[in-house]
Amino acid sequence: MMKYFRPNQSGHILINLLVVLGVIAIIATISIPYIKKYQPNLKLNASARELTADLRYAQQLTVTEQVAHSVKINLEDNSYQILKLSLATTTIKTVELASEVSFQQVTGLTNNQVVFNYYGGVSESGQIVLININNSTATINVKPSGYIQLEQ
C-alpha cells in the first residue's frame, strides 16, 4: 500500500527547520560574549609564545654566527626588536604586540635589553611580564645560562 502526501502535513518540515534555526540562534547569542571575553587571553598567550620564540631565535643566531644578538624591548611602543650587535647594529626583526596586550614590567635588564653571549648565556638575567586588558599576565624568565622559561 502506498502512502500519499497529505495536505495537512505540508508545513511540518518548515516548522522543524524553523525550530532548528531558532535553537542555533539562541546558542550563538549565548556563546558570542564568552568568546569575546576569552579572545584577549588567546592573544596574550600567542604574544608570550612569540616573544619566547624570538628570544630563543636571537640566542641561536648568536651561537651560530658567533656575533652577539639582543632583543630590545620598547615599553612606549609596545614592541620589541631583534638586533645584531656588530660594528653597525642591524635590526633583524621588529614585532608590535597585539592591541589587547602590553608590557607590564621588565626587571633585571639594563635598557630593557636581553643580550646573548657567544655561548648562549645572557649578560643579565631578568623577567619580562606581559599583561592583557583582562589583567591576566604571562611571565618570561631569562636565566643567566640563557634558559628562557615561559610561565602563564
Asked whether residue 56 is domain-assigned, the answer is yes
The verdict on residue 37 lying in a domain is: yes
Give the mean pLDDT of the chain. Answer: 90
Alpha-carbon span 1 to 90, nearest angstrom: 86
Enter the C-alpha cell of residue 151.
610561565
Which residues form the domain of 66?
A: 11-151
C-alpha cell at 64: 651560530
User: Could you give the number of structural domains in the chain?
Assistant: 1
The answer to whether position 98 is within a domain reads yes
What percent of the chain lies above the pLDDT cut of 90? 70
Query: What is the grid cell recorded at 43?
Result: 592573544
- Is 144 among the domain residues? yes
| pTM as predicted | 0.78
List, in sequence order, every residue forming a beta bridge with 83; answer none if it has no partner: 70, 91
User: Can you count the helices (H) and strands (E) in the chain?
Assistant: 1, 8
Task: Write the DSSP symbol of residue 141.
Answer: E
- pLDDT, residue 123, reads 86
pLDDT in tens, 1-60: 556 555 556 667 888 889 999 999 999 888 888 887 788 899 999 999 999 999 999 999
Contacts (Cβ under 8 Å, ≥6 apart) of 76 = none
Q: Is residue 34 part of a domain?
A: yes
145 in a domain, yes or no? yes
In angstroms, the first-to-last Cα distance of the chain is 68
Q: Supply the pLDDT for residue 128.
A: 96
CB atoms within 10 A of CB 91: 10
Does the residue 122 lie in any domain? yes
In a domain, 42, yes or no: yes
CATH of the domain at 85: 3.55.40.10
